Amino acid sequence: MKTQSNSFVFNAYHRGRIVVAAFVILAIGSFTSLGLTYDFEFSSRTEGYGYQIRRYGSTGIEFLNRRRLTQYLGLRIFNLLDPENTHFYSKNNHLPVYFTLNSLMRIDMDFGGFSHPDYTLRELQKNSLDLIQATLEGHNLWGYFHFWLGRQYDAALLDLFAFDGAKARVHFGHYIFFEGATGVQTTHAHPFSSAVFEPWGVSDDYTNQAWSPFMQVALGLHENPWIQLLLAYRGVASQSPRGITPAADPLASLWGIDQEVIFWGGELTFPKIRTSPIWGIRYNLLTAQLDDIQVIIEQPLGYAQRVELEYLRSRPHYDGDSIFNLFSVEPFSEVATRYALHWSENYHFHLRAGYRWFWHDEENIDASSTKSISLVAGTERRGPRLNTLLEIYYLGGLDNQSMGGDCDGRLRLGDIFSIQGRASLFWSKGGTAAITDGIASGIQAGTTIDIIDGVMLHLLFEDNFSALYRSAFRLLAVLDLAIAP
């Protein structure tokens, strides 16, 4: 499915090293030239898990222990610019100029059965060090310039795109802006990359070697009182494994396009009637198909009620090298409506009804393979001490039905302790596996202890019961630490 192109041909490995080194130099330079004083905020979160996974082995059903430890470390440094430094200000700029460094690291370790050398389930072993974010940001420079350097995320094109690189935005006048970004897509090939961003359906050997440079440009209207628009393009390329692509030399590897999309989105606001249409359209140039269409119309009814009408049309999209492009997928369309009522400051009610249908191809879009309806209703109470939520739902199709409900709450006892609990009940019939038919239930209970200012301990246990599992017991412990001197 990858399309061949020479526009991205360069030595990605060495270029990637240069880009990373440049980020480090720029970050150090920014600190040394700007920073006389600064403020920082340090956060730490330690999570411990204990549970079992049921699997079928050579001797029948067996249980593998999971004993996991996850550690998050975050650092935020801000106020890096001395207030007396006017180098980045302009005469007509009244917005504050500021620099911020945001970083978050995660350590994942498994001490259970999956750490034993006899088990070769690599996809379930997650002993890794992940650099989730490391971004230096600068905003309102000279009144019109913004930049981001380092490992960062972009969610403007109806997806979550992680990359190591640079992004800059320039404002023209009050509302128009131009934005550009370049770098390399975050995959398993990068140092300290999270497995969350591995492309689906691509071999591990390939992703461990491939570097995927990308380019993204956008033009839009921002902070306009009645209209906001965004038109964006993204292209991602990579080098195919040797011997895979047709080439004159069988050992040669060719560059090709893995992703090429155009996105158009916006939001209108009509002040008098307060109607707000919101839309996003994503077109895949690689497959010449519309990947996603999302349209939402919001309408307030007075000051306590709101209704929404949503249309969603989605086709799963994958990396250009993914084997999933060769198999049939299940694109779907859905029409849904929502109603929300805020009858007081503490009490809220919401209702959602949706109709979804799956279709096979563009030529026969009305020939649906599955149709279903969904209903969700819930009420919520929010207060300084007690928060509760009760929600019931129903999902029905031609071949199966399911319904259930959840009730959870949180009660704060004094300034140190809080307790929380949850109970759920689920019923299904006509699923693909008859053993899953029937009733399933689950309970959760836990507590949060504020040990000292900035240090919290969360304890939680849960157990689930069904025809498949007599008991699925889990324990979770979280130590949360935040320091902001």
Instruction: Give the lowest-confidence range in 34-48, 192-206, 331-345.
Output: 192-206
- pLDDT above 70 covers what percent of the chain? 74
φ and ψ at 168, to 5 degrees? -140, 145
Confidence at 24, pLDDT banded by 50, 70, 90: very low
* pLDDT (mean) for 104-117: 72
d(CA 60, CA 114) in angstroms, rounded, equals 18
| Residue matched to tokens 């180098």 | 87
E strand spans, 79-212: 98-110, 128-141, 145-154, 161-172, 176-185
**What is the model's pLDDT at position 257?**
84
Question: Could you read off the pLDDT of 362-373 as tens digits, one per residue?
Answer: 554 444 457 889
**What is the model's pLDDT at position 13?**
36
Confidence at 241, pLDDT banded by 50, 70, 90: low
Q: How many CA atoms lie within 13 A of 93 on its CB side?
A: 17
Burial of 43 (C-beta count, 10 Å sphere; 0-12/13-18/19+): middle
The SS3 of residue 149 is strand
**Which residue(s) pair with 105 in the sheet?**
73, 131
**What is the model's pLDDT at position 23?**
47
**What is the model's pLDDT at position 340?**
96
**What is the model's pLDDT at position 398?**
66
**What is the model's pLDDT at position 34?**
47
Confidence at 177, pLDDT banded by 50, 70, 90: very high
Question: Could you read off the pLDDT of 426-450 as tens digits, one per residue?
Answer: 998 875 555 567 888 999 999 999 9
C-alpha closest to that of 149 among 160, 161, 159, 163: 163
The SS3 of residue 270 is strand
> Does residue 91 surpass a pLDDT of 60?
yes
d(CA 29, CA 103) in angstroms, rounded, equals 17
Q: Which string of DSSP letters, residue by residue, matches 419-462?
A: EEEEEEEEEEES-SSGGG-EEEEEEEEEEEEEEETTEEEEEEEE
> Does residue 202 surpass a pLDDT of 80?
no
> Does residue 75 surpass a pLDDT of 70?
yes
Instruction: Give the lowest-confidence range in 117-126, 336-345, 346-355, 455-464.
Output: 117-126
**What is the model's pLDDT at position 155?**
83
Confidence at 267, pLDDT banded by 50, 70, 90: very high
The SS3 of residue 365 is coil
> Does residue 189 surpass a pLDDT of 90?
no
Confidence at 16, pLDDT banded by 50, 70, 90: very low
**What is the model's pLDDT at position 35?**
45
| Residue matched to tokens 């503490």 | 346
**What is the model's pLDDT at position 185?**
87
d(CA 320, CA 260) in angstroms, rounded, equals 9
Burial of 237 (C-beta count, 10 Å sphere; 0-12/13-18/19+): buried
Q: Which residues contact 62 (CB under 8 A, 6 or more apart)?
A: 54, 55, 56
| Residue matched to tokens 């306590």 | 304
Instruction: Give the lowest-confidence range in 17-21, 217-221, 231-235, 295-299.
Output: 17-21
Rounded to a whole number of angstroms, the CA Rg of the chain reads 26
**What is the model's pLDDT at position 9?**
33
**What is the model's pLDDT at position 14?**
40
Confidence at 242, pLDDT banded by 50, 70, 90: very low
Q: Cα-Cα-Cα-Cα dihedral of 317, 318, 324, 326, to 10°?
A: 70
Q: How many Å separate Cα 30 from the centre of its chain?
A: 29
> Does residue 402 surpass a pLDDT of 50?
yes
Sketch the domain layout of the chain as residue ranges: 1-258, 401-430+440-485
Across all residues in the chain, what is the average pLDDT?
Answer: 79
**What is the model's pLDDT at position 83?**
62
If one looks up domain 401-430+440-485 in CATH, what number appears? 3.30.1300
Q: Count other Cβ atoms within 10 Å, centred on residue 186.
A: 24
> Does residue 393 surpass a pLDDT of 80?
yes
**Residue 96: DSSP 8-state:** P
**pTM of the entire structure?**
0.78
**What is the model's pLDDT at position 220?**
94
Top-ranked range on mean pLDDT: pick from 26-30, 141-145, 424-428: 424-428
d(CA 105, CA 101) in angstroms, rounded, equals 13
| Cβ proximity of 41 and 483 under 8 Å | yes
